[in-house]
Amino acid sequence: MEAAAIHAAHGHDHHGPPEANRSSRVEPQMLGMLLFIISEIMVFGAFFTAYFFIRIVDQDNSWFPLDGVELPKLIAGINTAILLSSSLTLHWAQTCAKNGNRAGLKVGMLTTFLLGLTFLFIQVNEYIHVGFAPHDHAQGSIFYGLTGLHGAHVFIGLTLLLIVTIRAYRGHFTPEEHGGVEIPGIYWHFVDVMWIVVYTSIYIL
């Protein structure tokens, strides 16, 4: 019925669109992901602006340890290591995908996903034990704000990884066609790098 209607409305043959010219060597999906990451970086930028104002511009604000509460640098440091290692396993999975090593791809993706999940779990655990709440003071707000924003991104990243993992188990991806592993991968690496910035500015500095 639809096809008929198109005929009627436009008197035009129903065929697909002409193949678009490719005016750039960059994959559209890849470029889209990069632009998306730029705007994600700006979201973090805005939260870091808040951090900058609350920690540096307002000179009568002090930073942690605050009211005797110390931030768990060590645990968060271990967590950092966990997240970073997930980037490595992801890279390994991607290499496997390129080389057609399906078992490696599956195991790599699964490990990456589980490492990410562990990170998130430890983070939530930290919230429970950290000893202050976002409504206690602005420093608490920015702590929860930045780590929470990052946590949300880990969550999005994990969702993407889960999709890739499922598709990997269903037999998708070939050495020729593995953009579906590459592109979510870039996002995951971004999430990792962002964590290093967050960790450094919140816990270390």
Partner 1 sequence: MLSAVRQPGWTRAMAFSAIGVAFTYALSVGARAGFDYKPFLDGEAVLQIGLISVPFFFMVGLGLFDYWGYWMSGKPTRPEDHSGHGAKNWKSYFYPNTDHKVIGVQYVVHSFFYLFVGGLFAMLIRAELAQPGRQFLDANTYNGVFSVHASLLIFLFIIPVFAGLANYVLPLMIGAPDMAFPRLNALSFWLLPIAGVMMLSSFFAPGGSFASGWTAYAPLSNSAPIGQVFFTIGVQFAGASSIATALNFLVTIITMRAPGMSFFRMPLLVWANFATSLLVVIATPFIAASQFFILLDRALGFNFFDNGQGGDVLMYQHVFWFYSHPAVYIMILPGFGIISEVLAVKARKPIFGYRMMAFSLLAIVVLGFTVWAHHMFVSGMQNWIRVPMMITTAIIAVPTGIKVFSWLATLWRGVLKLDTPMLFALGFITMFTLGGISGVMLAMIPLTIHVSDTYFIVAHIHYVLFGGSLFTVYAGVYYWFPKMTGRMYDEKLGKIHFWLTFVFFNVTFAPMHLIGVDGMPRRVADYADKYAEWNLAISIASFALGLSTLIFAYNMIASWRGGPRAVGNPWRALTLEWQVTSPPPVFNFDAIPTVVGGPYEYGVPGAVHGVFADEEKAAPVAAGAGAGATATAGSGGAPSLEKPSAPDHD
Give 15 or 74: the residue with its C-beta nearer to partner 1.
Answer: 15
- List residues near partner 1 by CB under 8 A: 1-3, 5-6, 9-10, 12-24, 26-28, 31-32, 35-36, 38-40, 42-43, 45-47, 49-50, 53-54, 57-58, 61, 134-142, 144-145, 163, 166-167, 169-170, 172
Give 57 or 74: the residue with its C-beta nearer to partner 1.
Answer: 57
Cβ partners under 8 Å of residue 173, min gap 6:
97, 105, 167, 180, 181
- Neighbouring-strand partners of residue 69: 66
Query: To the nearest whole angstrom, how small is the minimum distance from the Cβ of residue 78 to partner 1?
Result: 27
Angle at 38 between CA 23 and CA 89, to 5 degrees: 95
Query: To the nearest whole angstrom, how small is the minimum distance from the Cβ of residue 191 to partner 1?
Result: 16
Q: For residue 185, with 0-12 CB atoms within 10 Å meaning exposed, 13-18 middle and 19 or more buried, which class applies?
A: buried
Give 75 or 117: the residue with its C-beta nearer to partner 1.
Answer: 117
